Chain A
Amino acid sequence: MTDSKYFTTTKKGEIFELKAELNSDKKEKKKEAVKKVIASMTVGKDVSALFPDVVNCMQTDNLELKKLVYLYLMNYAKSQPDMAIMAVNTFVKDCEDPNPLIRALAVRTMGCIRVDKITEYLCEPLRKCLKDEDPYVRKTAAVCVAKLHDINAQLVEDQGFLDTLKDLISDSNPMVVANAVAALSEIAESHPNSNLMDLNPQTINKLLTALNECTEWGQIFILDCLANYTPRDDRESQSICERVTPRLSHANSAVVLSAVKVLMKFMEMLPKDLDYYGTLLKKLAPPLVTLLSAEPELQYVALRNINLIVQRRPEILKHEMKVFFVKYNDPIYVKLEKLDIMIRLASQANIAQVLAELKEYATEVDVDFVRKAVRAIGRCAIKVEQSAERCVSTLLDLIQTKVNYVVQEAIVVIKDIFRKYPNKYESVIATLCENLDSLDEPEARAAMIWIVGEYAERIDNADELLESFLEGFHDESTQVQLQLLTAIVKLFLKKPTETQELVQQVLSLATQDSDNPDLRDRGYIYWRLLSTDPVAAKEVVLAEKPLISEETDLIEPTLLEELICHIGTLASVYHKPPSAFVEGSRGVQHKRLPGSAGSGESESPDAGSAGGVSEAPPAVIPSQGDLLGDLLNLDLTPPTATGPPPPSSGMQMGAMDLLGGGLDSLMGDESEPPHIPPRTHTPQSPQLPHQSPSPPDYSPTELGGDLGGSPAMGSGFGGPPAAMPASFSAPVSGGLDDLFDLGGGVGMPMGAYSPPKTIWLPAMKAKGLEILGTFARRAGVIQMEMTLTNKAMSVMSDFAIQFNRNSFGLAPAGPLQVLTPLSPNQSIEVALPLNTVGPIMKMEPLNNLQVAVKNNIDVFYFSCQYPISMLFVEDGTMDRQVFLATWKDIPNDNEAQFQIKDCHLNSDAASNKLQGSNIFTIAKRTVEGQDMLYQSIKLTNGIWVLAELKVQAGNPNFMVSLKCRAPEVSQCVFQSYEAVLKN
């Protein structure tokens, strides 16, 4: 007899019959009845009507019956809260039972009953169970705290359960430790700033001890927790690595991957010349390979992570290419991932093998896979120069197969190869042209048109070919239309005599008959360019294109760093930072790899501050279709900015296009050229945060003059040139909209508070170099003002400066301008403009800045604290309505109150003074002789701080309440208030 009998029903009505059985005197019958109820529940039938009858069965010695009733309770208590109270007494009693199994079961079940009334009764038993003598009960109770927190977080904090939970990390039993860690991690996820996991060397040591003895799941929790720790130095880092390495041989792949995460992160701190570093690298390869022999689902997750690992440290798997070869019966999701990694690992040494494989794959059945394989051949050609010729001939072979989608894909990648190796493989153009008619996908058509336009002078019938496309111009997709427009203009510039008619036709199609603004704008630009100055047009349109970069799809380094810290998580599967998609994580801490220490290279401030990612971000080729979108991404979300999205994106789109996108398209290429080094307009001006891809000889003002007309351009460039630096140095988060706020920014009073200079680096410590300094915000530019004094006997020269990562991404916007050598006893005043687009790391205190100054003698380090007021931006006035809504919206926990003593100002004077430092009063209210000023502040990274300042006439003590979504800044902001008001 099996359980399936529980599913059979009788005609009389199931519920009725079950009710009778539940109330039976016979234990056996009761149990059978409860089982029937559970069975119905599992398949989604509603049996909640039996609640009182089932709860009646709870008082029993039979453990199985008790468990079954508990199962039922957990499911239905929520829908019958009043009835559920009936069960409380039994729970409380069971929590005192001599049998630990029953105590644990009771506390466990109570936690699962998500009814507020019951949770109140739960607190006392839970407190006892957390201190129970039996570890089994303690570890169950630890999890229960997490459950309770999920239901009522406030209650958990009020009852002090969090502290008890923290104590359990030092429990003698490893399982208890593991569960406490798991519970704390879960709680911490919903409280990102609560600093629940106070990791210090002592707790780390306890965790490492527990790691060896707890279950595999516990090991995962502990390893994930360890990964959040930042070791003090390389020695500690190495000792943790040594104790974690054995986990790489665990049978559970999740343990292995979590261990890999810890090692990948802590490795950053090890000096590269250390023997242990090499050993560790070698140890990482086998477990990663082993993950690939597991079930396909595990393989998939492993492959997504390996993809990150090979980007960060390609040396680990460089000899393991073969394990990524695709088997024909791999699931498609595994095949595609393997292909990706094969390309990443491709090098001159193994390219022959890889190409042979890729060619094999290109004849498989699955269309997606075949396409990707063809694309991969193109990527190999771009990555490994020596193989380019072979790749091209392989692609030609594939084109000969005439399989439609293979041909189209091949043409798309050949276009990229042309971009990388211009004037090398043009002999194949004839073969490509043969396949013109079979192309039906926009991307392939656009690629082909680009090729025809680019090499128009070598294709005899280029005009015929392009004309044939023109017939169905309106039916083409936008990317084909744009490409066709550009190609015909190129053709015209190359063969002006024969193609005049053609170019007029396409220009009129683009400007008059199209309602696509991109197309129209581009058409107009060409038109004016051609009619004004054909020579200039030629220079612009036929300008030499920068080569495309070899790594077309690398993850952006800061994101990669963050993802490496998240190996094994969902973030690593999606290759997105957790903040981008995890619901419920309100506010996210960005994890960063620790910088290396102790190694020889950290002597130079460069390596020290960049933490191993000093390589320039490689250029990314966006697909042609969303050039605009990519430009926007590129410009408006610099790697580390976490500010809110810019409010007026429509405006920016237009402006950006004219600034960069339009010109880029003008050049007639589909790909974003590599970043041109940012230009500086005046020696003082900081770097342009927007890296405009216009050709170097085209300054935006000239362009504005040429094209005129557009309102966005007018407002953007009509301002006095002196205003340019201010606008461009404006905060990252603001993007272009700051440009429009320019008027206000320039005219603002110069009264921003700047503290007096203090000694940052005494001559004693710096071989005679003394640095006094302060920070100031002048005309919207943050400046670091220093007095350098040479107190040594010899001449100092070759000054340079570098910042460590800091809370707000402050970085020098230009080199340190000490042009003449500093002779003994000479002083020099230097003002260094700063920007806020540097790498970010939270500092303690928040406004701490670590600086390295170099001269011909040595490198010196010092740290200083900047007044946070210099980060207050000029457009920090918040709308009143928004202010009200935001004030309400920010939880009260985030409110901080401070008292400013001995300030003899009236409220208006105070308001004026604060305004000078970009603290804007947006409303004032007088209640019973007390002035309430409501003020708003915006930081460079887009954080808003709202303040309420209470000023009572005759009382020199002001009260200030600060509310901010990032409460960490409150303390610093308060200090600024104090400093500004008292000076």
Chain B
Amino acid sequence: MIHSLFLINHTGDIFLEKHWKSVISRGVCDYFLEVKEKAVEPENVPPVLQTPHHYLISIYRDKLFFLSVIQTEVPPLFVIEFLHRVADTFQDYFGECSESIIKDNVVTVYELLEEMLDNGFPLATESNILKEMIKPPTILRSVVNTLTGSSNVGDKLPTGQLSNIPWRRAAVKYTNNEAYFDVIEEIDAILDKSGMTVFAEIQGVIEACTRLSGMPDLTLSFMNPRLLDDVSFHPCVRFKRWESERVLSFIPPDGNFTLMTYHVSSQNLVAIPVYVKQNISFFETGSCGRLDITIGPKQTMGKMVEGLMVTVHMPKAVLSVNLTASQGNYTYDLATKVLVWDIGKLNPQKPPNLRGTLSVQSGAPRPEENPALDIKLKIQQLAISGLKVNRLDMYGEKYKPFKGVKYMTKAGKFQVRT
């Protein structure tokens, strides 16, 4: 099982270590650091590494490496999932996951890690339970603690831990009872030069925020559940009811959680909200090239496209750009060769355009590769797959909660090849 954990920042300093069995020298990280040096980009460090006596499994998140050391045969996914859970927990407790915030809360971090794993076996990873055992730091609490001498470690057994619903703590009480659901869909797509869709799919997620007293039992139903053939649920969802009735029936955890994720596969037709016309070319002679990009609305279902942004990773040889944007601003980072065009709202009447010249290092050969465009966008009040929530019912409690559903579509990994 998981033997040790090292936290390493992106420059390669080990700033925290935790061992759940015997202590392993931090020298073991040298293997990792060596590979990291070679990989150039931190994203390219392979997640599973073999050393003479150990295996190193790592994730890269928020510019930090979470590196775990294992000695026996352990499912790597198990370790990776756990490491992400650790990062999530830090995010949840401290609002961000960075070297400085971890150092600022090192004792809490240590207590958390001890509580999350025992002898390498996960112990408590649900945020609800952890928060009962170790209270998250707040300014108010630290003041109170100093005055009263009380501690931020709970001294009772967390109630949910052994019940059939380990994700929910008991005796929740709110004056305002509310349940909100956000249906967020991301479009992953690759368009080719001519604008044809090479590949497109939708990654959907339903994020929930429930602040409900007692033990509410919720049922969420959809207008068109047939869209959902590939789903993953939070453990609270009763799978049998979904199989038989296609409704989500569950006792929710308290607070924010991901109710389900789903995936509308590439075999269904996926609507692409914008079209992109582009032409990036470099001349055979002379040291320059030309760029011309236009974006216009395609299948927006009558909604406004916002937050439109185009990112281009230019070839290394491109020294500078001289462009005019009909809408929005552009920046070109000379060091990283990244061109960012921030457009904002898409005007359907006047499709925004960016054009101009690129100057290429003189003498350098014509760049071989063509830079791909990375598109970001947002559409409020629309789930592009067409998924719609029908109704939300609550059983088991008497009060009437506030209920709300929001939809949003975003571009995920949306790329246009040139």
Indicate if B84 sits at the interface (CB-CB under 8 A).
yes
A293's partner among B17, B149, B161, B203 (CB-CB below 8 A) is B203
Q: Is B34 located at the chain interface by the 8 A CB criterion?
A: no
Knowing A100-B157, A179-B121, A217-B121, say if A286 contacts B104 (CB, 8 Å): no
Residue on B with the closest CB to A75?
B23
Asked, given contacts A64-B153, A322-B266, whether A570 binds B76 with beta carbons under 8 Å apart, the answer is: yes
Q: A611 to B73, alpha carbons, bound, how many Å?
A: 27
Mostly, the A contact residues are helix
Is A616 part of the binding interface, using a Cβ–Cβ cutoff of 8 Å?
A: no
The residue of chain A having its C-beta at the shortest distance from the C-beta of B79 within the complex is: A254
* Contact for B265 among A31, A220, A289, CB less than 8 A: A289
Contact A253 B81, CB 8 Å, known A28-B149, A290-B232: yes
Distance in angstroms between the alpha carbons of A363 and B267 in the assembled complex: 27
A518 at the interface (CB under 8 A from B): no
- CA gap between A256 and B235 in the complex, in Å: 13
A interface residues, how many (CB within 8 angstroms): 106
Chain A residue contacts of B233, Cβ below 8 A? 249-251
Q: Which residue of B lies closest to A4 (CB)?
A: B104
Among listed A298-306, A602-610, A965-973, interface-contacting one = A298-306
Q: Which residues of A have CB within 8 Å of B175?
A: none
Q: B1 — which chain A residues lie within 8 A by C-beta?
A: 182, 186
In the complex, A582 has a CB within 8 A of chain B: yes
Instruction: Fill in one digit per residue for B127-165: 1 if any A CB lies within 8 Å of its CB, else 0.
Output: 000000000000000100010010111111100011010
The answer to whether A257 and B77 touch (CB under 8 A), given A3-B107, A217-B121, is: yes
- Tell me whether B345 is interfacial, beta carbon within 8 Å: no
| Binary interface encoding of chain B residues 1-32 relative to chain A, with 1 for a CB under 8 A from any of its CBs, else 0 | 10000000000000111111111001000000
Are A295 and B190 touching (Cβ within 8 A)? Answer: no
B306 at the interface (CB under 8 A from A): no
Shortest C-beta distance, A141 to chain B (Å), equals: 11
For residue B356, CB closer than 8 A to chain A, the reply is no
Would B17 and A42 count as touching, CB distance under 8 A?
yes
Asked if B230 is an interface residue, CB under 8 A from chain A, the answer is: yes
- A927: chain B residues within 8 A (beta carbon): none
Interface centre among A108, A319, A365 (most CB of B within 10 A): A365
- In the assembled complex, which residues on chain B have CB atoms less than 8 Å from the CB atom of A333? 44, 46-47
Assembled-state Cα–Cα distance A213/B164 (Å) = 6
- Are the CB atoms of B229 and A251 closer together than 8 Å? no
Cα–Cα, bound, A62→B154 (Å)? 10
Known: A150-B21, A179-B121, A584-B72. A173 touches B152 (CB 8 A): no
CA distance in complex: A108, B78 (Å): 22
A-chain residues with CB within 8 Å of residue B243 when the two chains form the complex: 246
- Within the complex, the shortest CB–CB distance from B110 to chain A, in Å, comes to 6
Binds B, one of A323-331, A780-788, A865-873: A323-331
Would you give the shortest CB distance from B37 to chain A, in whole angstroms? 15
A583 partner, pick from B53, B149, B261, B415, beta carbons under 8 A:
B53
Chain A residue nearest in CB terms to B80: A297
Determine the distance from Cα of A297 to Cα of B26 in the docked complex, in whole angstroms: 22
Partner of B76, one of A63, A136, A301: A301
A302–B48 Cα distance when bound, in Å, is 12
> Which residues does chain A contribute within 8 Å of B47, judged by CB atoms?
296-297, 300-301, 333
In this complex, what residue of B is CB-closest to A79?
B23
What separation, in Å, do the CA atoms of A101 and B134 have in the docked complex? Answer: 13
A356-400 with Cβ < 8 A to chain B: 357, 360, 363-365
CB-CB under 8 A from B114, the residues of chain A are 67, 71
Chain A, residue nearest B242 (CB)? A249
Pick the residue among A44, A329, A571, A583 that contacts B374 (CB under 8 A).
Answer: A329
Q: Do residues B164 and A323 form an inter-chain contact, with CB atoms below 8 A?
A: no
* Shortest distance between the CB of B249 and any CB in chain A (Å): 14
Judge whether B110 and A325 touch: CB under 8 Å: no
Q: What residues on A are CB-neighbors of B121 within 8 Å?
A: 143, 179, 182-183, 217, 221
CA distance A7 to B198 in the complex (A): 54
- Look across to chain B and name the residue whose beta carbon is closest to the beta carbon of A401: B368
Query: Please, how many angstroms separate the alpha-carbon atoms of A78 and B19 in the complex?
Result: 13
Stretch in A13-21, A440-448, A573-581, A708-716 touching the partner: A573-581
Q: Smallest distance from the beta carbon of A706 to chain B beta carbons, Å?
A: 47
A360 contacts across to B, CB distance below 8 A: 192, 417
Contact B155 A251 (CB under 8 A): no
Given contacts A39-B107, A136-B157, A323-B201, contact A256 B119 (CB under 8 A): no
Interface centre among B59, B78, B315 (most CB of A within 10 A): B78
A residues less than 8 Å from B232 (CB atoms): 249-251, 256, 287, 290
Say what secondary structure dominates the interface of chain B: mixed
Q: Is A258's CB within 8 Å of the partner chain B?
A: yes
Distance, CA A71 to CA B18, complexed state (A): 10
Chain B residues lying within 8 Å of A2, measured Cβ to Cβ, are 104-105
A403 near B: Cβ within 8 Å? Answer: yes
- How close is A68's CB to chain B, nearest CB, in angstroms? 7
- Would A332 and B153 count as touching, CB distance under 8 A? no
- Report whether B77 and A254 are in contact in the complex, using a CB–CB cutoff of 8 Å: yes
B93 to chain A, nearest CB (A): 13
Write the chain A residue with the least CB distance to B372.
A328
Chain B residues with CB below 8 A from A286, complex form: 229-230, 263, 265
Pick the contact of A27 from B50, B75, B149, B199 — CB < 8 Å? B149
Whole-angstrom CA separation of A118 from B77 in the bound complex = 35
Q: Is A568 an interface residue (CB 8 A)?
A: yes
Q: Does B96 contact A (CB under 8 A)?
A: no
- Is B203 a contact partner of A67 (Cβ separation < 8 A)? no
A101 touches B73 (CB 8 A): no
Chain A 207-227, CB-CB to B under 8 Å as 1, else 0, gives 000000101110011001000
A146 within 8 A of B: yes
Assembly CA distance A328 to B110 (angstroms): 38
The reply to whether A42 and B368 form a contact with Cβ atoms under 8 Å apart is no
- Residue B328, interface by CB 8 Å: no
* Complex CA–CA separation, A297 to B243 (angstroms): 30
Complex contacts, B22 vs chain A, CB 8 Å = 78, 114
27 contacts between A and B (CB under 8 A): A2-B104, A35-B107, A38-B107, A63-B154, A67-B114, A101-B157, A108-B118, A136-B157, A182-B121, A215-B125, A251-B235, A257-B77, A290-B232, A298-B77, A320-B265, A323-B199, A323-B265, A327-B413, A328-B313, A329-B374, A331-B41, A333-B44, A568-B75, A570-B74, A571-B73, A583-B72, A584-B72
Contacts A2-B105, A363-B369 aside, 15 further interface pairs with beta carbons under 8 A come to A38-B106, A42-B17, A68-B111, A140-B118, A217-B122, A224-B75, A254-B75, A298-B80, A300-B47, A322-B199, A328-B313, A568-B78, A570-B55, A581-B50, A584-B71
Q: Which 10 A-B pairs have the closest CB atoms?
A: A286-B230, A2-B104, A64-B153, A64-B151, A297-B47, A254-B77, A217-B122, A254-B78, A63-B155, A246-B239
Interface residue ranges, B against A (CB under 8 Å) = 1, 15-23, 26, 41, 43-44, 46-48, 50, 53, 55, 58-60, 71-78, 80-82, 84, 103-108, 110-111, 114, 118-119, 121-122, 125-126, 142, 146, 149, 151-157, 161-162, 164, 166, 188, 190, 192, 198-199, 201, 203, 229-235, 239-240, 242-243, 258, 260-261, 263, 265-267, 313, 315, 368-370, 372, 374, 413, 415, 417
